Structure 1
Amino acid sequence: MTDDTPRPAFDTQLVAGEVAFDARDARLLRAINDEGSLNAAADSLGRSYAHAQRRIVELEAEFGSLVHRERGGSRGGGSTLTDGARGLLQQFRRLTAESSGLAEVDETVLDGTVLERDGEFGFVETDAGVVRALVPPDSERVEVTVRSDVITLYSPNSAPQGNETSARNQFEGTVRQVERGERIARVTVAVDGSASFLALVTTTSVERLELELDTEVVVSFKATATRAVPCSARE
């Protein structure tokens, strides 16, 4: 395991030691997150399980633990991403945005009131609706922050439901603006009330979802990627 800090390299890569993390690796990690297992992720990408497993081992030798594996026989069982993997994906996405002329990663900030708590999480009433987020223990009035690079957009008929997804925050909305870079686009989505979300997505997603003015979409993001702070903390 090297002590080298991952560093940007040509053509949107993160390099640690002798290993370069690129877009193909990012797709593999996202597929593991979406499918819930390395085997299913490899199938969804049209790759062999053995090759995908070998690549994860190579990446982990330099970048640290990326995939938590659960026992399930010779084909690998279930798999989930570690916090290190999620951080690596966010770092890669920011780097891709910078190389595509969209260097700034925006935030959606929503004023809200904590309605209910469940451990570290809370349900916060906002102009966009009720958002599930990590909340401070002693505050009722908060500001909820959602980074544009943790938001996923779906067409209304393809958005995962219930146990199909770990992203518990979902809001129906309408595209109000699409700002395209070379590979990344910044999309503004208006939802019920006076709120809008800013999402950073690939230009491939823009084309696949046919994102343009007035396109209906579903905004989705995880509670673990959503933080609330006391209103006074941002003043």
Structure 2
Amino acid sequence: MEVSADFDVQLGRGEVSLTLRDRELLSSIAAEGSLNGAAESLGRSYAHAQRRVVELEDAFGPLVERSRGGGDGGGSELTDRARELLATFDRLRAEFAGVAEADETVLTGRVVERDGELATVETEVGRVRAVTPPDCTAVAVTIRADAVTLNRPSEAPEPGGTSARNRFEGEVVDVERGETLARVTVAVDPDVDLTALVTVESVERLGLEPGAGVVATFKATATRAVARAES
């Protein structure tokens, strides 16, 4: 099972991911006692809801037990597997929110080029593309930890070869592990550290430990700048 920590939690198996929308559907099935009642309460198509449950069950195993006929006309209830998935999902969301909201890197700089809402900002570690308010030159650029992707230098995308326009090489200086997520601190300059939020599985797969070289990338559209007072 893979965990994505990119702005929202997703539990993935193969090409199928259980998202917040799926969590709402399964929870509603438990509350309403039927798939039809769940779809109606959520304002969704029954056919689409049924198809989504089948997709999830193909990936994760039996999630909904269905009964038919009888005095009550049948119904549905969640399996133990479904309840375990929902508990895992909720735990990950809580952990993710607590870490992601607390960790961000702030760089100060000056706008040197504009292209609509996006601007190129000259910072202490190099140029960064970010969503920037108009009519300002001095800015502070905020980079959320969950927006940063880490790669081995040998596997990192070439500059310009990805939508993640911002790219910095650095060295891991600290790894703080949680149950499923890890906070990785990367020195991209002698005086500047960049924080990334990744899965523990990624830490192990990429060999992220102090001293390891990495390439950090993050999208311009996920990077925000705010005006600051001229110094």
TM-score range, shorter chain: 0.5 to 0.7
Larger radius of gyration: 2
The answer to whether 1:115 aligns with 2:115 is no
Cα distance change, pair 116–202 in 1 and its aligned pair in 2 (3 A): same
The answer to whether 1:203 aligns with 2:200 is yes
The answer to whether 1:175 aligns with 2:183 is no
Which residue is 1:192 aligned to? 189
The answer to whether 1:103 aligns with 2:111 is no
The answer to whether 1:18 aligns with 2:26 is yes
Look up the SS of the partner of 2:99 in the other structure.
Answer: coil
Q: Deviations over 1:118-157 (max 9, x none)?
A: 1111100111210000111111000000100111000001
Letter in 2 for 1:124: V
Measure how far apart 1:116 and its partner are.
0.6
Cα distance change, pair 230–95 in 1 and its aligned pair in 2 (3 A): farther
User: What are the within-5 Å matches in structure 2 for residues 122-133 of structure 1?
Assistant: 122-133=119-130
Cα distance change, pair 58–163 in 1 and its aligned pair in 2 (3 A): farther
Look up the SS of the partner of 1:18 in the other structure.
Answer: helix
Letter in 2 for 1:175: V
Cα distance change, pair 193–137 in 1 and its aligned pair in 2 (3 A): farther
Q: Deviations over 1:6-29 (max 9, x none)?
A: xx9xxx963223379xxxxxxxxx
User: What are the within-5 Å matches in structure 2 for residues 30-41 of structure 1?
Assistant: none
Q: How many residues align?
A: 156
Unaligned runs of 5+ in 1: 1-7, 21-53, 60-91
Cα distance change, pair 120–99 in 1 and its aligned pair in 2 (3 A): closer
What TM-score, normalized by structure 1, do the two folds share?
0.59
What is the CA RMSD across the aligned residues, in angstroms?
3.1
Unaligned runs of 5+ in 2: 1-8, 10-17, 29-50, 57-87
What is the distance in 2 between the residues matched to 1:177 and 1:187? 6
What TM-score, normalized by structure 2, do the two folds share?
0.60
